[in-house]
Structure 1
Amino acid sequence: MYIAMNRFKVSTGSETEFEDVWRNRDSSLSQVPGFVEFRLLRGKANAEDGYTLFSSHTLWKSEEDFLNWTKSENFRAAHRNAGDRKAMYKGPPVFEGFNVVEGI
């Protein structure tokens, strides 16, 4: 199993807009070979720095399945308008990928 995560610092006041983008996106992940599960997580607001931390998590059967998706038309379509929303972010997303060592 492989977990792919992106952390987003969303500007204070843009949280609902950010969540709506995810809820209303045209996702075809469920049709992608090797895809298992998606979660969008909302952390606590950091009032001092003006953002709320969010994390998107996808679970894949293998790192190879994830990498194949990143090279696909589905991936390009899913991220086509990402640059249009820069104002709602405090910096770019931060990607982290993990191979599962142990799980229940």
Structure 2
Amino acid sequence: MYFAMNRFRVAAGQEEAFEAVWKARDSSLSEMPGFIEFHLLRGDSVPEEGYTPFISKSAWENRDAFIAWTKSDNFRAAHRSAGENKAMYLGPPKFEGFTVVEGA
């Protein structure tokens, strides 16, 4: 199993707008071979730094399935308007990918 995560620092006061963008987008993830599940996670705000952390986390059967998603038309469609929301973020998202070593 492979987990693909993007960490976002969402500007204070932009949390609801950020969540709305994610809820409204049509990612078509469920149509992709190897896709297992997706979660958008909201962390505790960091008032002294002016942001709330979020993580988008998707689970895949393997890394190859995830890479195929990133090269698909579905991926391009899901990220088409990402640049329109730059004011919500403190910097770009940080990608992290993990292969499961052990799990139950």
* Shorter-chain TM-score tier: over 0.9
Q: Which residue of 2 aligns with 1:87?
A: 87
Tell me how far apart the structure 1 counterparts of residues 65 and 85 of structure 2 sit (CA, whole Å).
28
State the Cα deviation string for residues 70-97 of structure 1 (Å, max 9, x = none): 0110000010000110000000000000
Q: Which residue of 2 aligns with 1:63?
A: 63
Tell me how far apart the structure 2 counterparts of residues 84 and 38 of structure 1 sit (CA, whole Å).
23
TM-score (normalised: structure 2)? 0.99
Instruction: Say if 2:11 and 2:50, in contact at 8 Å, map to a contact too.
Output: yes
State how 1:7-22 maps to structure 2 within 5 Å: 7-22=7-22
Instruction: Say if 2:27 and 2:75, in contact at 8 Å, map to a contact too.
Output: no
Identical aligned pairs, as a percentage? 62
Tell me how far apart the structure 2 counterparts of residues 13 and 82 of structure 1 sit (CA, whole Å).
19
Consecutive unaligned residues of structure 2, counting only runs of 5 or more, are none
Q: Number of matched residues?
A: 104
Q: Which residue of 2 aligns with 1:77?
A: 77
Instruction: Say if 2:4 and 2:57, in contact at 8 Å, map to a contact too.
Output: yes
State the Cα deviation string for residues 36-88 of structure 1 (Å, max 9, x = none): 00000000101011000000100000000000110110000010000110000
Cα RMSD (Å): 0.5
Runs of 4 or more above 4 Å deviation? none
TM-score (normalised: structure 1)? 0.99
Tell me how far apart the structure 1 counterparts of residues 23 and 72 of structure 2 sit (CA, whole Å).
22
